[in-house]
Structure 1
Amino acid sequence: MKNEEEVKDEILAAARELIQQYGIDKTTMRDVARVASKGKSTLYYYFKNKEEIFDAVIRDEHDELYLKVKKAVDSEDTMEEKLKTYLISKITTLVQKRKQYAFLIENESHHFNIKNFFTLSFEVNGERELAFIRSILLDGAKNEGYNFDVSGVIGIDVLSDAFMTYLRGVEIEVSLNRGFESINEKADLMVKILLKGLK
């Protein structure tokens, strides 16, 4: 017998498929129940309405995005490569997500707009992204000879914030369907600027 998390995951997978294809306006609870092979009462046990399902789908997408980026970064050895991979992986994954949700973005901006997307992104991933970047910088200081003046103006927290500020700017450009060309070169330049004079 399936546990509650498995049932919920099946509902969200069905909803994700329908929302990507038809948008939220044309997706009904009945549609989600049919694709998930569940009764409507099962859906209402977990979610009050389709808007709540949509919110859960987008939260899952943000969670999946973070975990995918973290996995890519964890496969790198040096701090510089980790930071570059973080930028490149995050942006390329966002581009893929934008394509998956193209119908929704282009036709239902009242449900899926940039402000809501980034507010939710910060709510779901903001603190753990910042902590992850900070841990990359700390590892670089400990294992690679980078000298962060933690008591002065240029400390790890300032550099972490600067990195995240740059990344969010690029994310906005991607959300507007521009600014992700030559992302490898941009990531390389950004990391060099960020780390200049630290080693």
Structure 2
Amino acid sequence: MIVRSPAKDEVIQQQILLAAKQLFQKYGLRKVTMDDVAKAIGKGRSSLYYYYKSKEEIFEAVVDAEILDMLMTISQAVERETTAEKKLRAFCLTKLTAAQNKRSFFSTIDEGMDAAELSDYNKAKQAIRQRIMDKENDMVSRILKEGIENQELRVMDQNEQQSIQFVLLATIHGIKREMVIENDFSRIGSSMDVLITMVIQGLKK
């Protein structure tokens, strides 16, 4: 009976996900096979099936890791700040910067997909986007509540707070979309300064 070490299993899983991510970026999801991933880490395909049942399961794990990494980066940036205004700016600025850094991964995944595959992938992207939005919404909610508790921000009811969260996140996504279209992220800092100044002016006591 083979006894597997949890630590070793984790290392192998990380190797699989890193290799798969690089292959997905280079060739697109459709062209990459389980054999390709196995070859990239120097193992047989049967070894991969111990950890992941299919290429799609590997892709889902890669996406989960990318989301977790992005959210952790944003959370750490927020936690380093001490006021609601600084926390909101750190959230917005880090979110846009992280999204820019992750763009190269997600922009090549659909390479070579046919219409049906592309449709399925677009549905998956919507689900991914919603998961990210939910987590980001929770972060912004905590920042606002802490700001109210610390008497930095005025008291607001739940409906108003939810509306502010929605508008803030929607605005950030709109700015990101425009920057992607223009392929110019040079105004991230100045754009976030303007946005947060406008938001804070409406929320201060």
Q: TM-score under structure 2 normalisation?
A: 0.80
Deviates more, 1:14-23 or 1:46-55: 46-55
8 Å contact from structure 1 (residues 170, 180) kept in 2: no
User: What residue in structure 1 maps to residue 125 of structure 2?
Assistant: 117
Q: Which of 101, 104, 109 pairs up with 1:99?
A: 104
Q: Which aligned pairs between 1:8-19 and structure 2 lie closer than 5 A?
A: 8-19=13-24
Structure 1 residues 114 and 184, CA, compared in 2 at 3 Å: closer, same or farther? Answer: farther
Q: Which residue of 2 aligns with 1:190?
A: 195
**Residues 1:159 and 1:102: Cα distance change in structure 2 (over 3 Å):** closer
Q: 1:129: which partner in 2?
A: 136
Superposed CA deviations along residues 17-74 of structure 1, whole A, max 9, x for unmatched, are 2212222233221111122233211222332322222222122211111111111111
- Residues 49-88 of structure 1 mapped to structure 2, 5 A cutoff: 49-88=54-93
Contact 2:84 2:144 in 1 (8 A): yes
The aligned counterpart of 2:185 is: 180
- Return the offset for 1:77: 1.6
Q: Output the CA distance in 1 between the equivalents of 2:122 and 2:142.
A: 28
Query: Percent same amino acid at aligned positions?
Result: 29
- Over the aligned positions, Cα root-mean-square deviation in angstroms equals 2.7
Q: CA deviation at 1:83?
A: 1.0
Matches within 5 A, 1:147-158: 147-150=154-157, 155-158=160-163
Task: Tell me how far apart the structure 2 counterparts of residues 170 and 11 of structure 1 sit (CA, whole Å).
Answer: 34
Corresponding residue number in structure 1 for 2:150 = 143
1:39 aligned partner: 44
Whether the 8 Å CA contact 1:91–1:174 is kept in 2: the answer is no
SS at structure 2 position matched to 1:196: helix
CA distance in 2, matches of 1:61, 1:171: 18
The number of residues matched between the two structures is 195
Q: Runs of 5+ in structure 2 lacking a partner?
A: none
Cα drift, residue 181 of structure 1:
3.7
| Contact 2:140–2:165 (CA under 8 A) maintained in structure 1 | yes
Q: Which amino acid aligns with 1:11?
A: I
Question: 2 CA distance for matches of 1:183 and 1:102?
Answer: 20
The DSSP-based 3-state class of the residue aligned with 2:130 is helix
Distance 1:112 1:20 in 2: 18
Query: Structure 2: which amino acid aligns with 1:119?
Result: A
Tell whether the 8 Å contact from 2:154 to 2:203 is kept in structure 1 after alignment: yes
Pair 1:77–1:111, CA change in 2 (3 A): farther
Report the CA distance between 1:137 and its aligned residue.
0.8
Query: Which residue in 1 is equivalent to 2:25?
Result: 20
Matched AA of 2:141: R
The 2-side partners of 1:171 and 1:108 are apart by 26
Aligned 8 A contact 2:31 2:112 in 1: no
Code of the residue aligned with 2:142 in structure 1: it is S
